Structure 1
């Protein structure tokens, strides 16, 4: 028997409805996690500290085992929402967790007005350690031990993540720096560091001494002494912090050159625990999106592994060639 289609639903409407239902179904399957945006009162800053948080599918506040946590730092003049809105962190983390490449984990994406330093505009470094980390560990079911923490960042956030790991190797099991703005001895003239309020003194000039005091080169010797066995009674058992670095080959800030200098300096201290990946492209989100899966795979070789011993061979994905993108970020 022929049954006519309801007249109130045209062919076009039925097609659109079918497409919408399919899109919603696929979206539900591909993004099973939650991303939330919060802020809390920071005594160190004297104002609210913003952050975004990625919670994995079926996040359990009462879980017997705490979740590993990765702190993801944004770039110069960025915000706490950049990693999700531009970096595809939610989609990448969902995919890697679903495939079993990384464990379910919490990602904290804080916001800062500085380069993650105690600069001329705000004490961002002190606020991170004294306010943000205690707040996160009191609010979420995340680990409070070194082997359950990692830190990563891009551009100025890579600068900050590297400094945090070198200064406090007791807190982080691994670090990833994507196109880190860790320029030595000084930033290139086109870098936003020369005009960023973090490094502008009361006379309105770039504070070279502050840069040299806070850059990674100033932390290397103390870091080396803390992680290098010396066979003395005072020797600790603190292992090095494995480092992942990435950079674009046509970066306008010459990030490849500075990344190679960084790798060379770190390999003198911790041979075989530094990895450098180079990608086609510049100082852009295309490069950082391409390198994010490899960075997370690298981090979780150590984060979440008891005693920082990797449980499996490296599973980092090889990046596909990417084209130069106009969405450049100053650094």
Structure 2
């Protein structure tokens, strides 16, 4: 479809207004917390790794006890500003902390050009584990042990968060996947995965075999082995990672159906430690904003509690 220069200008101005409005909103949150956009050089990527970070009111870089930290991943073609400017993360975190529902915590919202995978366009998964986590843990007073870490994300970020938790259950105490784009056996025709550079081979075609190797169901058996108690043992060496899932009932990518498949698969491995919430709405920020408080409340039943071990 031909787009006129005037229409292109209008879209550019509209995007700028959205970003400006978001940052103006953030300035009001700063009264109770501190939020900033940062970056550092990533050896894995070979260029700067951007992230937005939320520090709670009263954050003390010299406190003897490190803060719990949640890594929040954005969706396909999103960026490190999304959760802060569109997802209401600062407002939600301030309210939950002020009400005593969750402890003072740090939230890291990284940016990625990929679907949080080592895909064709960038090694996003490797950069997350090899560069981002060490940078955050050496720069801020946050925990570097399993019980003080959680990971969450929306859509493609839900795909990534789920995979991170399944691949490395030794590193995360809880995971939340909001409308996760974890489609089995393949993404629907209207999914951006089909045109995202992360999954396009040298011929510009979607690589189905890569998708299958990277999707959550490829990790389930190894995860089950890690978290299932061995014979004559009451608990496993690595506890399961409790999982929160949400989806909109009118999601255009049929996220409810795929969320139910995911819950069923995970309940077989860790019964009682999977929660699925369904919301009116589609694959939109309305649903993700609505489910964020429930997701964080769920995660902080486990994050920050060293003695909470799931059998």
Cα offset for 1:31?
4.4
Give 1:232 shift. Answer: 6.1
Which secondary structure state, in structure 1, belongs to the residue aligned with residue 65 of structure 2? coil
Query: 2 CA distance for matches of 1:54 and 1:236?
Result: 34
Structure 2 residue 71 is matched with structure 1 residue 56:
no
Residue 92 of structure 2 contacts residue 293 of structure 2 at CA under 8 Å; is this kept in 1? yes
CA-to-aligned-CA distance 1:99-137 (integer Å, 9 cap, x gap) = 000000000000000000000000000000000000000
Q: 1:308 offset after TM fit, Å?
A: 2.7
User: Is the CA contact 1:151–1:172 (under 8 Å) kept in the aligned structure 2?
Assistant: yes
Q: Pairwise CA RMSD of aligned residues?
A: 1.6
Match of 1:239 in 2: 239
Q: Secondary structure at the match of 1:306?
A: coil
Q: What is the alpha-carbon distance in structure 2 between the residues aligned to residue 225 and residue 141 of structure 1?
A: 33
Structure 2: how far apart are the matches of 1:47 and 1:29? 30
Q: For 1:13-162, what aligned pairs fall within 5 Å after superposition?
A: 31-162=31-162
- Output the CA distance in 2 between the equivalents of 1:143 and 1:46: 26
Contact 1:34 1:56 in 2 (8 A): yes
Aligned to 1:3: none
1:290 aligns with 2:290: yes
The corresponding residue for 1:8 is none
Distance 1:99 1:266, change over 3 A: same
Supply the distance in 2 between the matched residues of 1:31 and 1:92 (Cα, whole angstroms): 14
Indicate if the aligned counterparts of 2:29 and 2:90 stay in contact, CA closer than 8 A. Answer: no
Counting only pairs closer than 5 Å after superposition, residues 189-200 of structure 1 correspond to structure 2 as: 189-200=189-200
CA deviations 1:27-76 (Å, max 9, x no partner) are: 86884001111000000000000000000001000011000000000000
- The answer to whether the Cα contact below 8 Å between 2:29 and 2:91 also exists between their aligned partners in 1 is no
Moved more, 300-309 or 57-66: 300-309
Larger of the two Rg values belongs to structure: 1
2:215 aligns with 215
Task: Note the residue ranges of structure 2 that are not aligned, 5 or more in a row.
Answer: 1-26
Q: Is the 8 A contact 2:239 2:309 kept in 1?
A: no
Once residues 114 and 232 of structure 1 are traced to their aligned partners in structure 2, the CA distance between those partners, rounded to angstroms, is 43
TM-score when normalising by structure 1 = 0.84
Please state how far the C-alpha of 1:306 moved relative to its aligned partner. 1.5
Structure 1 CA distance, aligned partners of 2:117 and 2:287? 25
Q: Aligned residue for 1:313?
A: none
Taking structure 2 as the reference length, the TM-score comes to: 0.89
> 1:161-200 alignment to 2 at 5 Å?
161-200=161-200
Equivalent-residue separation in structure 1 for 2:137 and 2:144 (angstroms): 7
Aligned partners of 2:242, 2:307: CA distance in 1, in Å? Answer: 13
Contact 2:70 2:152 in 1 (8 A): yes
What's 1:23 paired with?
Answer: none
Query: Hey, what's the Cα distance between the residues in 1 that align with 2:219 and 2:241?
Result: 13
State how far apart, in whole Å, the 1-side matches of 2:28 and 2:158 are.
32
Aligned to 2:257: 257
Count of aligned pairs between the two proteins:
284
